């Protein structure tokens, strides 16, 4: 059983949180929602909400076996907060799995973690990914070292499969 | 009187649209809202909406004297549509004024228009601005050639002053 930290804020892409989280739980893994402050964060479609279990500024990155970053406007909100940028930098450098979907690479770009890496993401951020020195691949799942990435809600089944395989 | 095209989509930062538009109208300028499709687009705070006057794909960039891009999630939505990217590229290259606030540089980054330019923008996109080869300045207004940019709603008064002066 892996302890998966989910970095999340308001305006997340609803299904990019709910579907993977359900699949991870069904596979026996533990979910800990990490946010800027305690309370509830809401999806941009108004279909889902998430309860923040721990504030990122109080979280120990060593505690987690994997970090999952859902998309929507949540990653852009998170990267405006230095503690979120620092947290993912510290975790990423442990070489444990990081799961990034849709707009999630935005947080990794601000944390300067993707230079030289193969990655995918939502179409609007392709130029940002390239400008960060990464290789953008237009595939449903891209795996490069500890990083697994997908483009959009359509890729969720393949994303989940790759993430769960990585956790085995 | 200038004809100002406003590139806008859903989830715009309400006050970053309403305040400058009011000021531009009060100064005698004409506002034409340009969007992906006809209809109403809504602000992320739920306080403002805008009626799209023209679809970007049917707009002639030569018609406009200036383009204004409000922030919020709107610029990221717009840049997912090739016609919006192409429109701002064509307009920008006429060297007529472009007014960009908050997240608006995202559209300019995807259009590859800011390399070597001085610009400011919302704190979350600073790394994207730098990676695009621009010089980020942490000021309430930055003016470089035809481009006027500001960081956030707090900068709106200074942003409006600079834009209106540019239109004189």
Distance separating alpha carbons of residues A165 and B36, to the nearest angstrom: 40
CATH for A3-167?
3.40.50.880
Q: What pLDDT was estimated at residue B36?
A: 98
Task: Place A104 in a pLDDT band, splitting at 50, 70 and 90.
Answer: very high
CA distance B166 to chain A (A): 30
CA distance B1 to chain A (A): 34
Chain A residues whose CB is inside 8 A of the B127 CB are: 109-110, 112, 132
| Average pLDDT score, chain A | 98
Task: Place A50 in a pLDDT band, splitting at 50, 70 and 90.
Answer: very high
* Contact: A106, B124; criterion CB under 8 Å: yes
Could you write out the three-class secondary structure of A96-124? Answer: CCEEEECCCHHHHHHCCCCCCCEECCCHH
The reply to whether B123 touches chain A by the CB within 8 Å rule is: yes
Sign, CA dihedral B105-B108-B109-B113, equals: negative
Task: Place A80 in a pLDDT band, splitting at 50, 70 and 90.
Answer: very high
Q: What pLDDT was estimated at residue A11?
A: 96
Closest CA to B150 of B97, B101, B109, B98: B101
Output DSSP code: residue A72. Answer: B
Q: What pLDDT was estimated at residue B8?
A: 98
* ipTM for the complex shown: 0.96
Task: Place A84 in a pLDDT band, splitting at 50, 70 and 90.
Answer: very high
* Contact: A110, B127; criterion CB under 8 Å: yes
Predicted TM-score (pTM) of this structure = 0.97
* Contact: B131, A126; criterion CB under 8 Å: no
Closest CA to A25 of A4, A8, A41, A42: A4
- Where exactly are the structural domains of chain B? 3-167
What lies within 8 Å, CB to CB, of A73 at 6+ separation is A9, A10, A11, A12, A44, A103, B11, B73
The CB density around residue A139, as the number of other CB atoms within 10 Å, is 14
Structure tokens at A127: 């130029």
Indicate if A73 belongs to the active site: no
pLDDT tens digits for range A123-137: 999 999 999 999 999
Q: What pLDDT was estimated at residue B92?
A: 98
pLDDT tens digits for range B129-162: 999 999 999 999 999 999 999 999 999 999 999 9
């Amino acid at each position: 059983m892996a302890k998966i930290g989910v970095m999340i804020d308001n305006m997340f892409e609803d299904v990019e949180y709910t579907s993977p989280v359900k699949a991870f739980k069904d596979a026996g893994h533990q979910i800990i929602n990490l946010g800027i402050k305690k309370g509830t964060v809401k999806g941009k479609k108004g279909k889902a909400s998430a309860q923040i279990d721990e504030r990122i500024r109080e979280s120990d990155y060593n505690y987690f076996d994997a970090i999952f970053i859902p998309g929507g406007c949540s990653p852009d909100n998170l990267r405006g907060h230095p503690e979120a940028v620092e947290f993912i930098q510290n975790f990423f450098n442990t070489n444990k799995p990081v799961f990034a979907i849709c707009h999630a690479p935005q947080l990794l770009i601000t944390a300067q973690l993707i230079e030289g890496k193969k990655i995918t993401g939502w179409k609007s951020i392709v130029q940002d990914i390239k400008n960060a020195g990464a290789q953008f691949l237009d595939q449903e799942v891209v795996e490069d070292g500890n990083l697994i990435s997908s483009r959009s809600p359509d890729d969720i089944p393949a994303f989940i499969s790759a993430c769960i395989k990585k956790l085995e």
